[in-house]
Amino acid sequence: MITVFWYMSDVTKGGYTNFSRAGGLPHPHSNKGCPQGISVAPKKRKVVVFYSMLPNGEGDPMSLHAGCPVEEGIKLSGNKWVWNKPHSEYD
């Protein structure tokens, strides 16, 4: 499964989307303050695309992500999940 995540507003300060395990980093004890990994700044019309599942259908632990606190402004975003193969008997 692919996740398509887009930002619909600019945020003046904060509001990053943090991928704390990017690059094979260990699972963080806390995401408070978004301490490690890769952080994507929320900018209007920016799109982030990533695989959130492995080919066998299990969740990809490296896709773990969290929204960092918005310190100034408003964060508007949306997402779409795209399956690259049928995911139920009704597809």
Asked if 75 and 41 count as a contact pair (C-beta separation under 8 A), the reply is no
For the chain, give percent helix, strand, coil, nearest 5: 5, 40, 55
Residue 35 confidence (pLDDT)? 67
Q: Looking at 1-91, which runs of residues are DSSP E strands?
A: 2-7, 11-14, 17-19, 38-40, 47-51, 66-67, 70-73, 77-82
* pLDDT digits 0-9 by tens, 22-45: 877 777 766 666 767 889 999 999
Residue 49 confidence (pLDDT)? 96
Residue 77 confidence (pLDDT)? 96
Can you list the residues of the chain whose pLDDT is less than 70?
29-33, 35, 87-91
d(CA 45, CA 57): 30
Residue 27 confidence (pLDDT)? 73
